[in-house]
Amino acid sequence: MLPLERAGREWIVDAMGCPAGRLRDEVCLRALLECIVDELSLRAVEPPLFHVFGGEGGMTALVLLAESHLAVHTFPELGIATFNLYCCRPRPDWPWAERLADALDAARVTVRVLDRGDEYAGEGAP
């Protein structure tokens, strides 16, 4: 759990070694975003917004959350999907490596977690 004086927690996740076809599969990516939102009890305020790049390109998706946002960018030419989840309310850690290996056939997943605003907690507060 996050102390109340923090502005939130951010997960920065890279899924590497993914087959290009998975990174171009909008149905797969939509299901993955829905899984993240559901399993973390997040609340989407609008349906996910997707932009699919033409040709052999990947896609970008954004879910605007009551708790902040979830974004993903895929790079089929590199075999990489990058995720950013920012939550202003406490959330448990999520099994990123397991879920991204299942959904995207990722060979390796790195997860960085940042607590936001903790170095400024209390400064400038009323």
pLDDT per position as a tens digit, 14-41: 999 999 999 999 999 999 999 999 999 9
Q: What is the pLDDT of residue 1?
A: 44
Kindly provide the residue ranges of all beta strands, DSSP E only, lying in 1-126, ordered along the sequence: 8-16, 49-52, 59-65, 68-75, 80-87, 108-116
Which of 28, 35, 69, 88 is labelled catalytic? 88
On whether the CB atoms of residues 100 and 80 are closer than 8 A, the answer is no
Q: What is the pLDDT of residue 90?
A: 79
68 carries an active-site annotation:
yes
pLDDT at 126 over 90: no
Structural domains in the chain plus CATH codes = 8-117 (3.60.90.10)
pLDDT at 54 over 50: yes
Where does the pLDDT of residue 119 fall: very low under 50, low under 70, confident under 90, or very high at 90 and above?
low
Phi, psi at 98, each rounded to 5°: -65, -50
Query: For 70-100, what is each residue's pLDDT tens digit?
Result: 999 999 999 999 999 999 887 888 999 999 9
Give the pLDDT mean for 107-117.
Answer: 93
Where does the pLDDT of residue 57 fall: very low under 50, low under 70, confident under 90, or very high at 90 and above?
very high
Which of 28, 35, 69, 73 is labelled catalytic? 73
Best CA proximity match to 97, nearest among 87, 107, 86: 107
Give the pLDDT mean for 106-126.
Answer: 77
pLDDT at 122 over 70: no
